[in-house]
Amino acid sequence: MNSPEMVSTSPKTQCRRVDNGSEDRISCLPDSILCQILSVLPTKDAVATSILSPRWKHAWTSVRNLCFDDELSVMGDEVSGITVAAFEKFVHSVLARTHPSSVEKFSLRCSYLRSLGMFDYWVSSAISRNVREIEIDLRDHERIPLPASIYRSITLEVLRLRSYFALTLPPDGVCFPRLKTFHLMLQQPTNHLPHNLFSRCPCLQHLSLTVYFTAANPASNLIISSATLKTFVLEVMYCSHSSAPNQHTVTIVAPNLEFLDITDDLAVSYAVHQLPSLHKAVYYVMFSEWPPIDRRPPVQLLAGMTKTKCLTLSAGVLHALNRRGDNIFPQFSALTYLHVTVGQFGCTMLPTILGCSPNLHTFVLHLSDWYVLNDEQTRWTDTATVPSCLSDHVNIIEINGLGKENSHMRLAEYLLNHSRVLLTMTVRCKPSVDGKTLENLHHRLMGLHRGCASAFIHLTRWVTWP
């Protein structure tokens, strides 16, 4: 077998011929292009290219993305392949041998961290190289403090903390002066921390926050206040429903917020100031069947979303609203797009919700496959007053998850019959619907009266069940 043969190149690059005689074109690329290619690889793979040839020996030292993951090194409680110590040595070696003054991304996923000082050194090293993005996941480690240098970084724009950390904010002044995107997990947070943190981030635009409460938590009011925030994703987790958890409150003050996504199990109450810039809101409630939970939070939160143009509600939200027994729903005058999921309960809220959305144009109804929608839940279709949005504005309707149940067909009939300006109704049946059932459903749909005679009905089977 012939050894690689060097061919004439420019002084800065060297091409070679591989064993089959063809030219190694990748090695002919400029250093800057090789660096971009290596930067999209995990760092361990980028370093491994150093054995390919002299041309590649030092190419990896210019990568701008440093991504470390010990997942392949440690399997459970046993060490596989390289040891934990070897992984730490590898990170140290890479940080010592790479030389770009500007690091684009530093990512660390680590299950076994033996030294807090070592962790500080790794992160501080990235900060000293003007890193733009940091992502850290220490998995099951106890909360450890972040290096003090991270709070004052003038280049950090993206920070994703995918495990719990102990945050020790500087006593005064700005925190994270250039940070735009922040993913944070808080465990049993104190009152002052969120307010002191987010209100001191002058450039924050995108916030993703997971908050974990326990029954031992004292009552708290978490204030999310930011004049620059545009998107906010909040997940509230509560460990037990053995006692009523609504002692906690989340206050949102974000006048420029455009997108709000909240997942909650009704563990907190809400105080939402008017959000005049809100364009899209998603509200997902888990565990709405727990009896000790107060049903006020959904109304509190929805009352702060009334300026939105697009709204998505889970079956849990409708279930919680329905259990109040008063069918209260705020007025959504600006709403043009509504996506609602209906489960075993909550379907009786539909006429109220539609009635409070007078300018609605697109209505998406998702029929959950987790529970059977009984006939009692759809009896309102015979007597309810027709919402004005159906007769005046709704021109697109989607029904997802249609089955052969009579309750499903009654909902489709109600919407098709009362939508006077409807252009298109798209109906997607459950994937479990066989060919014969699909044909029968098509025949039934085509036989229904249409409020708009020219409305087009498209029936298909849902290939991918979400």
Question: From CA 183, how far away is CA 161, in angstroms rounded?
Answer: 6
Question: From CA 43, how far away is CA 45, in angstroms rounded?
Answer: 5
Contacts (Cβ under 8 Å, ≥6 apart) of 433: 402, 403, 404, 441, 461
Residue 233: per-residue pLDDT: 98
Contacts (Cβ under 8 Å, ≥6 apart) of 312: 280, 281, 282, 283, 284, 338, 339, 340
Residue 79: per-residue pLDDT: 47
Residue 256: per-residue pLDDT: 97
Residue 48: per-residue pLDDT: 79
Running along the chain, 466 residues long, what does each successive block of 10 average in pLDDT? 36 48 65 75 77 72 84 53 76 83 88 85 93 91 88 96 90 92 90 88 97 79 94 86 64 96 84 92 76 68 94 90 77 97 86 95 90 78 87 96 89 94 95 88 92 94 62
pTM of the model: 0.86
Question: From CA 189, how far away is CA 176, in angstroms rounded?
Answer: 19
Question: From CA 397, how far away is CA 362, in angstroms rounded?
Answer: 6
Residue 1: per-residue pLDDT: 38
Contact between 225 and 209 under an 8 Å Cβ cutoff? The reply is: no
Question: From CA 319, how far away is CA 395, in angstroms rounded?
Answer: 27
Q: Burial, 103: exposed, middle or buried (Cβ in 10 Å; 0-12, 13-18, 19+)?
A: buried
Contacts (Cβ under 8 Å, ≥6 apart) of 428: 398, 399, 400, 401, 402, 460, 461, 462
Nearest to 191 by CA among 142, 250, 240, 268: 250
Nearest to 275 by CA among 235, 314, 299, 302: 302
CB-facing half-sphere around the CA of 62: CA atoms within 13 A = 12
CB-facing half-sphere around the CA of 437: CA atoms within 13 A = 13
What number of other Cβ atoms are within 10 A of residue 137's Cβ? 17
Residue 102: per-residue pLDDT: 76
Radius of gyration of the chain (CA): 28
Calculate the CA 251 to chain-centre distance: 20
Residue 87: per-residue pLDDT: 85
Residue 306: per-residue pLDDT: 95
Contact between 261 and 290 under an 8 Å Cβ cutoff? The reply is: no
Residue 106: per-residue pLDDT: 94
Q: Where are the domains of the chain?
A: 1-63, 309-466
Residue 274: per-residue pLDDT: 77
